Structure 1
Amino acid sequence: MILINLLPHREEKRQLRKQAFFVGVGVSVLAGGLIVAMWYAVQLRMMATQQTRNEILNSAIHKLDDEIKDVSALKAEIDSLKARQRAVEDLQTDRNMPVYLLNELVSQTPEGLYLTAIHQNGQTVTVSGFAQTNERVSEFLRNTNNKSTWLEHPELIEIKAATNNSKDARDNKRLFDFAMRVSLKRPGEVSSAASAASAPGAAASGVKPPQSAASAPVKSGA
């Protein structure tokens, strides 16, 4: 006996496939939504972590700014103290400069020349006096330029003939009235020059260190 199915089985299969498709679409949409939600939550978590790091960094930056301000203030205070120290050292040094100046002038003044006036203005010293000959003045200039420890850069301002007005005509000798300008070194410059002169290179080249003011021979003026 032959059985014939007259029901619309094709329609039923089509409906089943359609239902399966919609179920698959729904599952895919749900899975996609879950994935997006999880990714969004991860992003929020990462943003919160980065925000926390930024706050920590900003706090550290503000702390470093305060420390930099403190360091700048400390440097300014140190510079001020150094300036005061230099001022005190300069005052102590300048207090001894007249002694060095007089000692050096006595050491470098040749015979036949005597000084009548000494004027100091800072590091510049103006000296005036009388000499028996022009050669005495030239020797004085050479001594202050080449042999002096504390004096440098001598410059002749003027020289002119003068007469010793004495009651005895035999004592009326012709003299030369002169004035010169010379620079006075500071102790730091003298120490640097002495160190350079006493270096091994200077000793090998035959350069003698400058003679100190204390050990320089004293010459008496005529």
Structure 2
Amino acid sequence: MTVITINLLPHRELKRAQRRRDFYVLSGLFAGAGAAIVLLVGAIISGYVAVQQSRNEFIKQENAALDKQIAEVAQLKQEIDALRERQQAVENLQTDRNIPVYLFTELVNQVPEGIYLRSFKQEGLKVTLTGLAQSNERVSELLRNLANNSSYIEKPNLIEIKVSQQQSRRGSRLFDFSLDMLLKRPVVEAPEKPGAAKKRSVPVTPAAQ
């Protein structure tokens, strides 16, 4: 005997409920997958940002170190320049000590006859002379000698010349004059470096006649 089973439950409602459950499950799966993807992408971006920040910090530290080195180099350059200036000042002082000797030697050699020096004043490298001359020509000769024949005097300049109230022993008139000039520092040759090769003079053999 065959038993016939009759489903009295509403099958449409059951299918609809099943589809609703399937939709919720799939929605949850998609939402979970989307959240996982967002978290993964966020983690990757955060990693890139952290690496870039680390690089930026490294570059910042290196720039700070370079700035410090540049400041030290600039300070060393200033110290070297100051030492060079001091060395030059010392060399100038040593050279200037001999300038009066050069000046007196030049005056002895360049002052012509008929010129009588009375005083001179030195301010740095500028020297002012005053004296008596037998004529204007003697003063002109003195200026030419100082300008052309002296190795330590340059730019002689006549300041004033006028008839003096004094007279020579013979009763001829004299001329008061004053002039200034500049002294040239002798050129100090730099010492040869150790081990520098010295130049040798090669004798020339005369050609056979």
Structure 1 residues 151-160 or 140-149, which shifts more?
140-149
Give SS of 1:29's match: helix
Q: Flag structure 1 segments of 5+ consecutive residues without an equivalent.
A: 192-222
Among candidates 29, 43, 61, match of residue 59 of structure 1: 61
Deviation at 1:173, TM superposition (A): 3.0
Provide the TM-score with structure 2 as the length reference. Answer: 0.71
8 Å contact from structure 2 (residues 136, 175) kept in 1: yes
| Residue identity in the other structure for 2:176 | D
Structure 1 residues 38-47 or 148-157, which shifts more?
148-157
Deviation at 1:118, TM superposition (A): 2.3
**Alignment RMSD, CA only?**
3.1
Counterpart-to-counterpart distance in 1, 2:25 and 2:186: 101
Q: Work out whether 1:86 is the aligned partner of 2:92.
A: no
Q: Work out whether 1:185 is the aligned partner of 2:184.
A: yes
Aligned to 1:116: 118
Residue pairs, 1:42-191, within 5 angstroms: 42-162=44-164, 163-164=166-167, 166=169, 171-187=170-186
| Residue identity in the other structure for 2:132 | F
Identical-pair percentage: 51
Give SS of 1:186's match: coil
Counterpart-to-counterpart distance in 2, 1:147 and 1:20: 120
Please state which structure has a larger fraction of its residues in helix: 1
Deviation at 1:7, TM superposition (A): 7.8
Give CA-to-partner distance per residue, 1:4-32, whole Å, 9 cap, x none.
Answer: x9986555554444333333322211111
Counterpart-to-counterpart distance in 2, 1:139 and 1:165: 20
* Higher RCO structure, 1 or 2 (CA under 8 Å, sep 6+): 1
Q: Flag structure 2 segments of 5+ consecutive residues without an equivalent.
A: 1-6, 190-209
| Residue identity in the other structure for 2:75 | A
